[in-house]
Amino acid sequence: MSFYWAAGGLFGVETLGEGMRELALARDPEIIGITWITGVLKVGAGLVALSLVQSWGRRIPRWIRRAATWGAGLLFIFYAVANLIQHGSMAAGISSIPDLLGSMTAVRWHLLFWDPFWLLGGILFVTSAVQFNR
């Protein structure tokens, strides 16, 4: 999705927030650059996961693959939990919704889709790291 959005695609961008949608429509260079970078990082995470099960992964020292998998998994879990807390406080009315999100609809998308998606990814990475250690 990151590459699609960075290239100008708009399908689903409203789930990120009204402010993000406006920046995407305006083709804001900073947001477009960040989106390209996040796409590259996501491909990197995918390569880390593949390195655990593909023969070409054996060329990379085991400790590097293990550390990268644990690191990615814990980072994803931390990111998801922090966002779940933040978006949950917005949904409960404890904190205000920033302009970048703009609406309760975007908050709900984050709470019900994006944040659990990152949490699941983190859990899968950590599970892979545990299995890789065996």
List the domain range (segments joined by +) for residue 51. Answer: 2-133
Supply φ then ψ for residue 117, to 5 degrees: -60, -45
| Domains: count for the chain | 1
Q: Which of 2, 24, 18 is nearest to 107 (CA)?
A: 18
Model pLDDT, residue 77: 98
Digits of tens for pLDDT over the chain (134 positions)?
A: 999 999 999 999 999 999 999 999 999 999 999 999 999 999 999 999 999 999 999 999 999 999 999 999 999 999 999 999 999 999 999 999 999 999 999 999 999 999 999 999 999 999 999 999 77
- CA dist 103 and 112 (Å) reads 14
